[in-house]
């Protein structure tokens, strides 16, 4: 094992230090995140669970470098992200994170292949390399034969697999999934969850955001948030026991 690898295992991939996100609504303040401390290491599969309004999307936007906290520090891969400007955040996102959303967000006027190539294009990867990487990602999710289809010529499950391929294509350090099964029937949800688990088995770090306890139980570690604060953080078995 080389030194870098050892260093990687000790340094958290994600380190959220006393994170607050406060919105001023007239004379009242809304503390969407109210002092969150969380470390996530390479290779983990973590579910962040909580009911509607608990602050999940707020923390996911911070973890995903889509937004910065009002107060507190966010260290992603050893880099302080909490004070970055928009263009720096975009660069970190492109290099580090693969996003999977509830609405697949595939562009309707682009083929499946072009959709999967898009983040690689933003990352500045050349044309032929891009195509090769995108086809490989489609192969990993088992829909390479559909590469030339438009999104509306794919089933819901295939579209979500396409969005997973898009998230995977650049070999990101982190796969961040926000309610990835929210728009799917139970059979397709099962496929997507199995797939996230497989990605984790292959060594990928997966963070899954959900309001659904059963979905959260697919992860290895569960972090529960309530009113912007962490109220549980532990292995899935312990979470399961705490819920009954």
Which position among 34, 57, 94, 229 is part of the footprint of ligand ATP (CB under 6 A)? 57
The answer to whether 69 contacts ligand ATP (rule: CB under 6 A) is no
Structure tokens at 222: 């569960």
Return the one option of Mg ion, ligand ATP, none that residue 25 interacts with (CB less than 5 to 8 A, by type): ligand ATP
Shortest separation between residue 14's beta carbon and ligand ATP, angstroms: 17
Residues 184-223 that bind ligand ATP (CB under 6 A): 211
Residue 205 CB coordination number (10 Å): 20
Question: Contact at 8 Å (CB) between 141 and 166?
Answer: no
Question: Contact at 8 Å (CB) between 174 and 13?
Answer: yes
Angle at 216 between CA 214 and CA 220, to 5 degrees: 120
Shortest separation between residue 228's beta carbon and ligand ATP, angstroms: 7
Return the one option of ligand ATP, Mg ion, none that residue 30 interacts with (CB less than 5 to 8 A, by type): ligand ATP
Contacts of residue 238, defined as CB under 8 A and 6 or more positions apart, other chains included, come to none
Binding-site size, ligand ATP (CB under 6 A): 13
The answer to whether 57 contacts Mg ion (rule: CB under 5 A) is yes
CA dist., res. 61 & res. 178, Å (int) = 10
Q: Interacting stretch for ligand ATP, rule CB under 6 A, among 52-60, 119-127, 152-160, 184-192?
A: 52-60
Side-chain-side CA neighbours of residue 90 (13 Å): 7
Which position among 43, 53, 157, 182 is part of the footprint of ligand ATP (CB under 6 A)? 53
CA dist., res. 240 & res. 178, Å (int) = 21
Strands 28-40 and 14-25: antiparallel
The answer to whether 55 contacts ligand ATP (rule: CB under 6 A) is yes
The answer to whether 102 contacts Mg ion (rule: CB under 5 A) is no
Instruction: Give the residues lining the site for ligand ATP (CB under 6 A).
Output: 23, 25, 30, 32, 50, 52-58, 211
Which residues here bind Mg ion, judged by CB under 5 A?
Answer: 56-57
């Amino acid at each position: 094992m080389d030194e870098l690898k050892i260093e990687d295992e000790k340094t958290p991939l994600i380190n959220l230090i006393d994170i607050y996100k406060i919105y001023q609504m007239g004379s009242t303040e809304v503390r969407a995140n109210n002092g969150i401390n969380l470390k996530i290491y390479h290779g983990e599969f973590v579910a962040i669970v909580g009911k509607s309004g608990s602050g999940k999307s707020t923390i996911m936007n911070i973890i995903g470098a889509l937004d910065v906290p009002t107060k507190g520090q966010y260290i992603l891969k050893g880099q302080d992200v909490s004070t970055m400007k928009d263009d720096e955040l975009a660069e970190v996102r492109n290099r580090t994170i693969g996003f999977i959303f509830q609405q697949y967000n595939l562009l309707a006027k682009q083929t499946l292949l072009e959709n999967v190539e898009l983040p690689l294009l933003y990352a500045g990867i050349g044309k032929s390399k891009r195509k090769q990487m995108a086809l490989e990602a489609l192969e990993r999710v088992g829909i390479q034969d559909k590469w030339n289809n438009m999104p509306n010529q794919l089933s819901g499950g295939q579209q979500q697999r396409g969005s997973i391929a898009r998230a995977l294509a650049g070999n990101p350090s982190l796969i961040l999934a926000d309610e990835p099964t929210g728009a799917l029937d139970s059979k397709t949800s099962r496929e997507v969850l199995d797939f996230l688990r497989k990605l984790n088995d292959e060594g990928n770090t997966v963070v899954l955001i959900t309001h659904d306890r059963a979905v959260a139980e697919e992860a290895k570690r569960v972090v529960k948030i309530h009113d912007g604060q962490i109220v549980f953080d532990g292995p899935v078995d312990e979470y399961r026991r705490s819920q009954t």
